[in-house]
């Protein structure tokens, strides 16, 4: 039996969640099950649970994302949660940020194939693109790193008063407590744990929400951003 054959039919909840983009969601699932496995982007054991554990789990993150904002999906990997989020929310301007070439190649292929005109793929690490990418309203991430480390990458990419939304598992509350000091130093002014996807996923998707004040990343990153902005202006004048 091939990996593609193991992909189960889309559950009824997927039709509800993806609506007019349902066919695109099915195509994306097929790409993950075929090309994604072949290129080592996901493990073959994930194929039977692609819908519940991955696509739907990520798509319901849209419940926590405000309307008409810019989003950067840090460490996007195979496009989770960025691609499902883009499929359900065409009001968002989404950047898929990923350092590995084989992953960005896959992401670019998916974006083109599905006609996701509101999605841009950028190859790079978060710490490398700060000052090059426009600050965003929302940073998203899933299974990238522990919260304290993730925050050092994601929060500096935010606009003032933006927010980071991290999909986490059962240890979300413990991670949030452990990261409290680091988050405060990075300019966080509020944190909460959200549970989204009622009636769609079971268990509910757990999201750690980190809100920042006027200096995302704290004083050190504010100085670094200012320096990057000055360098960018100098290059444009040449």
Per residue of the chain (238 residues), what is the pLDDT tens digit? 343 448 999 999 999 999 999 999 999 999 999 999 999 999 999 999 999 999 999 999 999 999 999 999 999 999 999 999 999 999 999 999 999 999 999 999 999 999 999 999 999 999 999 888 999 999 999 978 899 999 999 999 999 999 999 999 989 999 999 999 999 999 999 999 999 999 999 999 999 999 999 989 876 666 666 666 666 566 666 6
Burial class (CB in 10 A: 0-12, 13-18, 19+), 55: buried
5: CB partners within 8 A, 6+ apart: none
Q: Up-side HSE of residue 197: CA atoms within 13 Å toward CB?
A: 24
Question: CA–CA separation, 29 vs 8, rounded Å?
Answer: 10
CB atoms within 10 A of CB 153: 21
Q: In Å, how far are 62, 94, 126, 154, 221 from 118, measured between CA atoms?
A: 15, 6, 20, 21, 28
pLDDT at residue number 4: 45
pLDDT at residue number 234: 61
pLDDT at residue number 131: 82
8: CB partners within 8 A, 6+ apart: 48, 50, 51
pLDDT at residue number 224: 65
pLDDT at residue number 2: 40
pTM above 0.85, yes or no: yes
* Helical packing angle, 101-114 and 22-31, nearest 10°: 150
Alpha helices (H) along the chain: 12-18, 22-31, 37-38, 56-59, 82-88, 101-114, 126-129, 147-154, 172-178, 180-185, 218-237
78: CB partners within 8 A, 6+ apart: 32, 36, 41, 42, 103, 106, 107
pLDDT at residue number 160: 96
Q: Are 54 and 33 in contact (CB under 8 A)?
A: no
Q: In Å, how far are 50, 75, 184, 219, 236 from 232, measured between CA atoms?
A: 41, 24, 29, 20, 6
- 185, 195, 187: which is closest to 213 by C-alpha? 187
Torsion from C-alpha of 147, 142, 207, 118, nearest 10 degrees: 120
Name the token pair of 17: 């969640």
The three-class DSSP label of residue 53 is helix
């Amino acid at each position: 039996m091939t990996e593609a054959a193991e992909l189960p039919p889309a559950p009824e909840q997927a039709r509800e969640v993806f609506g007019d983009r349902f066919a695109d969601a099915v195509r994306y699932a097929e790409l993950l099950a075929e090309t994604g496995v072949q290129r080592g982007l996901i493990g073959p054991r994930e194929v039977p649970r692609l819908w519940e554990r991955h696509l739907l789990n990520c798509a319901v993150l849209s419940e926590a994302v405000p309307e008409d904002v810019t989003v950067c999906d840090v460490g996007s990997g195979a496009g989770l949660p960025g691609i499902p989020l883009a499929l359900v929310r065409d009001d968002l301007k989404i950047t898929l940020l990923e350092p590995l070439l084989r992953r960005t190649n896959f992401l670019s292929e998916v974006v083109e194939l599905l006609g996701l005109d509101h999605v841009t793929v950028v190859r790079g690490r978060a710490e490398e693109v700060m000052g090059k990418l426009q600050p965003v309203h929302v940073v998203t991430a899933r299974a990238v790193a522990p919260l304290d480390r993730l925050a050092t990458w994601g929060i500096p990419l935010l606009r003032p008063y933006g927010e980071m939304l991290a999909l986490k598992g059962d240890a979300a509350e413990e991670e949030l407590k452990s990261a409290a000091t680091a988050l405060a130093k990075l300019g966080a002014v509020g944190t909460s744990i959200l549970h989204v996807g009622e009636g769609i996923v079971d268990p509910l998707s757990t999201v750690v929400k980190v809100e920042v004040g006027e200096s995302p990343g704290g004083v050190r990153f504010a100085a670094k951003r200012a320096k990057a902005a000055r360098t960018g202006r100098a290059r444009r004048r040449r």
